[in-house]
Amino acid sequence: MGDCKYCGQAAGFLRNKHSECEKKYEEGKSRVVALIPQAIFSSVSLEALHQQLNQVTQRSFISETEKRDLLLQSWEFAVDRCLEDGILNESEEKLLLELKDRFSLSQTDLDRAGAFSKVVKAAVIRDVLNGVLPQRVTIDGNIPINLQKSEQIVWAFPNADYLEDKTRRHYEGGSRGVSIRIMKGMYYRVGAFKGQAVNRTERVHVDKGWVVVTNKHMYFAGSVKSLRIPYSKIVSFQTFSDGIGIMRDAAHAKPQIFVTGDGWFTYNLVTNLAKL
């Protein structure tokens, strides 16, 4: 006779679970994952939520380890729900942080799939849209850029790639021509030509380093290339899934691309800072 892995009671010959216990367990997991989003979009108090969580886990045979993992999933799900409209309002941010503290969820664990970073980035964008200079980023160590007076770092992307468009020229349709002997030791070459010049634009990797966004400039600091780009000198922006492209106000300007890993955030941050 085997015992049920959920309730611990006899499950029957060659069986290790009761179907009704397994059903309670699966329903309980779904219920826990739904708790935090429901708390954010309803008037449930944190105390009532905590009591409800304990009741669900106890009657659903959910262990403490499993409960913590389900709470992390629930918090991540709540972040996605809050950002469905593209905006994280102040009350949503406040509740998310209160729930984080209430259930002792660490920032590292909450950022395992980038959920905590999503919250911070959304709050930064909200600050900028409201005309407020964000002060939400703390950078450990030194960043190799020389800030100007009253300049403040808003965000920094380490290990970013810097790409440029380069134009290369080659010739197509050329011919070596034909050599005709005129006399001993003397030849006349006819029909030789280089062909038509063709320009080809290639996007090449230039360097890897820091992309730093401040209230005044966009910086790139790499091992072989360093740039300071005032927002006033940027005439257009292009968004990519993993970065941003800019075109500077110069006679022979070509697109410059910065691969930060988050194109939506980079584009919205830089374009709105440029308007401040």
226 neighbors 207 (Cβ within 8 angstroms):
no
Q: What would the mean pLDDT of 233-239 be, rounded to a whole number? A: 95
Residue 13's pLDDT is 82
Specify the range with the lowest mean pLDDT, choosing from 124-128, 194-198, 219-223.
194-198
How would residue 276 be classed by pLDDT, with cut points 50, 70 and 90? confident
Nearest alpha carbon to residue 110 among 138, 146, 74: 74
- pLDDT at residue 170, as a whole number: 59
pLDDT band at 1 (very low <50, low <70, confident <90, very high): low
Q: Is the per-residue pLDDT at 2 higher than 90?
A: no
**pLDDT score recorded for residue 39:** 87
Q: Where are the beta strands (DSSP E) in the chain?
A: 2-3, 10-12, 153-172, 178-183, 186-190, 196-214, 217-222, 226-230, 234-240, 243-248, 256-259
Give phi and psi for 220, each to the nearest 5.
Answer: -130, 130
- Model confidence at 191: pLDDT above 90: no
User: What is the residue-averaged pLDDT of the chain?
Assistant: 88
Type of residue at 147: L
- Pairing relationship of beta strands 178-183 and 186-190 according to DSSP bridges: antiparallel
pTM for this prediction: 0.80
Where residue 97 falls (left for φ over 0; alpha for ψ -120 to 50; beta otherwise) is alpha
Tell me how crowded residue 266 is: count the other CB atoms within 10 A of its CB. Answer: 26
Is residue 221 very low, low, confident or very high in pLDDT (cuts 50, 70, 90)? Answer: very high
| Domains present along the chain, CATH in parentheses | 2-129 (no CATH), 153-166+203-273 (2.30.29.30)
Tens digit of each residue's pLDDT (9 = 90 or more) over 91-139: 999 999 999 999 999 999 999 999 999 999 999 999 999 999 998 887 8
- Count Cα atoms within 13 angstroms, Cβ side, for 45: 3
Q: Determine the pLDDT at residue 220.
A: 97
pLDDT higher at 99 or 1: 99
Average pLDDT over residues 4-19: 89
Which of 69-73, 101-105, 136-140, 213-217 is predicted with the least confidence, judged by mean pLDDT? 136-140
- 132-176: pLDDT as tens digits: 999 888 787 788 899 999 899 999 999 999 999 887 765 665 555
Provide the pLDDT for residue 197.
66
Task: For the chain, give the percent of residues with pLDDT over 70.
Answer: 88
pLDDT value at position 12?
85
Residue 199 has pLDDT above 90, yes or no: no
Is residue 237 within 8 A of residue 267, CB to CB? The reply is yes
